[in-house]
Structure 1
């Protein structure tokens, strides 16, 4: 149970103290307070009991891109324009119009139809893994599978994933809890390279349309003109970032956890009906997205603590997913647990729920299936470390060996 909260203000916590051992830090803080303050107008909610309410509270809207740029101090440039324009950082009709470009493609039925293609991609990548020598699992498979799938969905060659992957990883740092100004030059360079790449691919579809999603997007844009061409580029660019990075980290840490719990890896190999549960548990135990952001349009009380209007509130998925009020024995990795909520808060709720959730889950399931079929003896030689306590988290190399 939580300790009694006696304070009516959120305590300030130096964000640098949360970088190492965030689970331990959040566990101690969660027992004492429902909310912490990270900087001016920057707060983080820690308790599961508040998560659903905050994600569905009409006073807590999705952080608008212009608000995000202002609060985080993102310098003017390609990256800030992307943040201001991408559908993830918009609301109302603007959000519906921009997100609607991709809604049918990522519907449950459409993604289910992609399952054979996802499995074939996973089988090919696993077959190409080195045998009898050590390799970095993150680069060799975890990064490739989601990047090559998002390329395939858009109609891009799989080889192009080698170009955009490293740039995506630089650009994704733009949503860290405190903007990494020391990394800005790399963020801006990555944003510029990716913008030019996507613009070139879309313009190529004007000259020579293909039977692919990019051609459909260009055709629909030309016919309706509901947004600028620059905005169309931003939506595709943002989709590539979202589709290529978070699943990479989630899949790698899931496999690392399974290989670090050999009895559960053995159980999964013996009974593949456990695959969905294994994926769900990996997402819970070490979420690749450390927080979900909202903007307070008016003062909001969270567990007795008042957050002022105009503040950004990050709902900490890292803290929520280890909250004993939501999960039994939350610090235990257990692919057979049955207490997962129907809707995982890590993917958000309502109209902003993650567009690619079903695809991400399926990529991890089919990736695991491919490993079980062709590399069941894979061994973990070096456990990776998850870095970050909010936004899109990073992962260190994960050294593995087959045979």
Structure 2
């Protein structure tokens, strides 16, 4: 498609000029290849960064779809976001499309994005996801709860007392990284190696690809590839009693994908099992400490923990949007988008929509209007494989904090940065008295 060659930066126009921030129609019907109709306004995404929730709220009702780049659209209103997760006129965005939209250079990062099951559809997605489906069943993940509790208690017991430390690094990052290592059969101490590289790779999965960080992302992806490939090959030589051995055995018996693809799927599972839970849990604890009456309520009544987890993921999600591709020209909320367009379904905006939640800008762990399926995990065939594990990790980690560090105090609130894809979190200085 010529448009990708002409405009490698999705935040500039075809002549290289920055997209203006304005509310108004595009210059003429069908300007982007869509059928004639009401075109979404063009918005400079950089204008969202300081206050994304406020920006989404200002746009949501009058402009539920906005264009943010060439052939790229944000969908903001809950009713459309939830419907489009499984709308047959859309499909999961492919890795190739994602690479072209974001002008990602060739290399390990592009190869990972092209290959990982997150960006696959149909039979290819089913084949790759099927390799892991038995490992991440709800029943099996529930059986891991005692193991998660042991890990969480051990980490809380080792936290410094009487001095300031970064909660994200010393607690929130360790539980999910060490648990995904334990589940797969990786040495627990290796979490210190792979976790920082996973966090670097996750920067690639944001609405605006950070080209300034590409060398860091590429190096991290290459190192993760070498690490995982080494772990899999070692199990081909000598079997062990772990998930990776079972995975290699199943793959060897029926190699539905190539070895390099197998490596990329494992990297994807490690990424999904490490990064998003880290940010979600840290922000949940920050929100509870920011609302001391709710922190005290959780300490008094641990039965409130699941509701607190759901509310934290709603109020400040670590996954800000999920991308789909329009298969045909579509009218969404009265606005027309062309076939082939990238639709970024904004979970951030949808979960602050008063059409879905009562008083959506209020953090309330006793909220009783959560939908049965939490939108942050997606919907349909691509719903998060590790949802149950993530919930258990956060529940047991919060319970461990209540038992072992009830007087935890926050010195500065962290910020969740970014407005789509996998969001990043800043350090969270805390102290246990």
TM-score scaled to structure 1, two decimals? 0.98
Residues in 2 aligned to 1:41 and 1:11: alpha-carbon distance in whole angstroms: 12
Q: Equivalent residue for 1:135? A: 165
Residues in 2 aligned to 1:202 and 1:169: alpha-carbon distance in whole angstroms: 22
Q: Equivalent residue for 1:54? A: 84
Give per-residue Cα distances to partners, 1:217-259, cap 9 Å, x unaligned: 1111111111111111010011111111000000000000001
* 8 A Cα contact 1:11 1:36, kept in partner: yes
Secondary structure in 1 aligned to 2:203? helix
Q: Equivalent residue for 2:38? A: 8
Which one of 35, 56, 61 corresponds to residue 31 of structure 1? 61
Q: Equivalent residue for 2:109? A: 79
Q: Does 1:156 align with 2:217?
A: no
Q: Equivalent residue for 1:267? A: 297
Measured after TM superposition, the shift of residue 355 of structure 1 is 0.6
Measured after TM superposition, the shift of residue 300 of structure 1 is 1.3
* 8 A Cα contact 1:142 1:249, kept in partner: yes
* 8 A Cα contact 1:51 1:345, kept in partner: no
How many residue pairs match? The answer is 399
Residues in 2 aligned to 1:208 and 1:131: alpha-carbon distance in whole angstroms: 43
Q: Does 1:301 align with 2:301?
A: no
Which one of 380, 384, 395 corresponds to residue 425 of structure 2? 395
Residues in 1 aligned to 2:359 and 2:274: alpha-carbon distance in whole angstroms: 32
Q: Does 1:165 align with 2:206?
A: no
Measured after TM superposition, the shift of residue 31 of structure 1 is 2.5
TM-score scaled to structure 2, two decimals? 0.91
Measured after TM superposition, the shift of residue 89 of structure 1 is 0.6
Which one of 255, 258, 264 corresponds to residue 228 of structure 1? 258
Secondary structure in 2 aligned to 1:294? strand
Residues in 2 aligned to 1:260 and 1:54: alpha-carbon distance in whole angstroms: 34
Long gaps (5+) in structure 2: 1-23, 26-36
Q: Equivalent residue for 1:244? A: 274
Long gaps (5+) in structure 1: none
Residues in 1 aligned to 2:305 and 2:67: alpha-carbon distance in whole angstroms: 38
Q: Does 1:110 align with 2:140?
A: yes
Residues in 2 aligned to 1:209 and 1:361: alpha-carbon distance in whole angstroms: 31
Secondary structure in 2 aligned to 1:301? strand
* 8 A Cα contact 1:148 1:161, kept in partner: yes
Which one of 205, 208, 213 corresponds to residue 175 of structure 1? 205
Secondary structure in 2 aligned to 1:340? coil
Which one of 401, 406, 425 corresponds to residue 376 of structure 1? 406
Secondary structure in 2 aligned to 1:306? strand
Measured after TM superposition, the shift of residue 70 of structure 1 is 1.4
Residues in 1 aligned to 2:111 and 2:92: alpha-carbon distance in whole angstroms: 17
Measured after TM superposition, the shift of residue 362 of structure 1 is 0.9
Q: Equivalent residue for 1:347? A: 377
